[in-house]
Amino acid sequence: MPLFKKEKDKKKSIPKDKILKVIKGIDYLDLGEPFGENARRYLTFQLGKMIDNNEIKGTVIIPEGVYISLSSSQVKNIINLITAKGICDLNTVAIENKWNVDIVKLIAKNRINLLYRKDSKVIVRKTASDLLLQKINQLADVDIVKIADEMQLQKQTIKDLLMALIADGKVEGFYVKSTSKFLHVNMLEESLKELISESEKKKLAEIKFSEIAEEYSITEEQAYNILLKLYNSGEIDVQLNLGKKTCVLKGNIKVQQFKEKIPEEERKLEIEDLTQKNKKTQN
């Protein structure tokens, strides 16, 4: 038992007059600068409270922890202008409207979902998505690489926008990995037939469902269902091995190899029967 108890550390606070002094006449202030990084969160909270109580004017940008002298309505004006423009140079916007460049960039980064272009301009994400949707609806051949160059954005950014449009049901189709193109939904079967044909020319013995799924950004189940439809209609000459999840190209393997590759029990069944067999097994 110690003879003397240590006093609990008192919460450190910064007098209000000192806070008011450091922000006086300041347009932009990183709150980690005046009293050290450890005081950033405290100052963010205190300044926010003072603004809410109408003791001072300005806005605190969270989570960065930056104080700006602009009111919330002035911040909204900047947001509305950049959003309305869709594509713009933030430096030009600031200079033309006599705003602090750092403040405009901070608000844009913090309050608007922006994409940064190769030409140093920014584009609102919704604007970029709308432009991509317009191009998809207008073009028969939708090349993601070309569109990325036209829109001054990275290829991956355009791909992400495309996948979001597909997920939201705004476009119906698939992203083809090998060509970096968007394929309209009614062209998938034709493209898959071409893939089978090209694989036959390359003397491949089989294609995995997973490879087809990855190529068209679909599931293995979707890949199987399309292959099954093409097989049933006689458009492709293959054997679908559900056990190994592969599409065997009959023309590229010898009879003996084919017999070894497809189990005797499965060879005697039609593709439809394999599906029924799985259902019976599950029951």
At 200-219, the pLDDT tens digits run 898 888 999 999 999 999 99
Return d(Cα 275, Cα 282) in angstroms, integer.
11
The predicted structure's pLDDT at residue 4: 42
Distances (CA, A) of 115 to 124, 126, 257: 6, 10, 53
Say if residues 32 and 52 touch (Cβ distance below 8 Å): no
Percent of the chain predicted with pLDDT > 90: 61
Instruction: Give phi and psi for 49, each to the nearest 5.
Output: -65, -40
Q: What is the mean pLDDT of residues 137-162?
A: 95
What's the mean pLDDT when you consider all of the chain?
Answer: 86
pTM for this predicted structure: 0.74
The predicted structure's pLDDT at residue 252: 67
The predicted structure's pLDDT at residue 256: 41
The predicted structure's pLDDT at residue 281: 47
How buried is residue 12: exposed, middle or buried, by Cβ count under 10 Å (0-12/13-18/19+)?
exposed
pLDDT score of 187 more than 70: yes
Q: Of the ranges 18-22, 78-82, 161-165, 173-177, which one carries the lowest mean pLDDT score? A: 18-22
pLDDT score of 138 more than 50: yes
Q: 35: pLDDT confidence band, cut at 50, 70 and 90?
A: confident
Q: 19: pLDDT confidence band, cut at 50, 70 and 90?
A: confident
Q: What is the mean pLDDT of residues 164-190?
A: 93
- How does pLDDT run across 236-260, given as a tens digit for each residue? 989 999 889 999 988 766 544 545 4
Taking Cα atoms as reference points, which of 274, 194, 272 lies closest to residue 236? 194
The predicted structure's pLDDT at residue 1: 46
SS3 category, 88? strand
- How does pLDDT run across 93-128, given as a tens digit for each residue? 999 999 999 999 999 999 999 999 999 999 999 999
Return d(Cα 29, Cα 34) in angstroms, integer.
9
Residue with tokens 């989570």: 63
Return d(Cα 191, Cα 244) in angstroms, integer.
23
One-letter amino acid for residue 49 of the chain: K
Any residues with CB less than 8 A from the CB of 251 and at least 6 apart, and which?
200, 237
The predicted structure's pLDDT at residue 101: 94
In our burial notation (b when 16+ CB lie closer than 10 A, e otherwise), range 57-80 reads: ebbbbeeebbbbbbeeebbeebee
- Tell me how crowded residue 117 is: count the other CB atoms within 10 A of its CB: 17
CATH number of the domain at 186-282, out of 2.60.120.1440, 3.40.50.170, 1.20.59.20, 1.10.10.10? 1.10.10.10
SS3 category, 45? helix
Q: Of the ranges 31-40, 114-123, 169-178, 248-257, which one carries the lowest mean pLDDT score? A: 248-257
Return d(Cα 109, Cα 71) in angstroms, integer.
17
- Tell me how crowded residue 233 is: count the other CB atoms within 10 A of its CB: 9
User: Residue 198: which region, alpha, beta or left (left: phi > 0; alpha: psi -120 to 50)?
Assistant: alpha
Any residues with CB less than 8 A from the CB of 87 and at least 6 apart, and which?
117, 121, 122, 123, 124, 127
pLDDT score of 5 more than 50: no
- How does pLDDT run across 52-78, given as a tens digit for each residue? 999 999 999 888 889 999 998 999 999
SS3 content of the chain, % helix, strand, coil (to 5): 55, 15, 30
Q: 174: pLDDT confidence band, cut at 50, 70 and 90?
A: very high
Say if residues 89 and 120 touch (Cβ distance below 8 Å): yes
Taking Cα atoms as reference points, which of 96, 26, 98 lies closest to residue 66? 26
Distances (CA, A) of 18 to 24, 30, 35, 47: 10, 15, 10, 12
The predicted structure's pLDDT at residue 112: 96
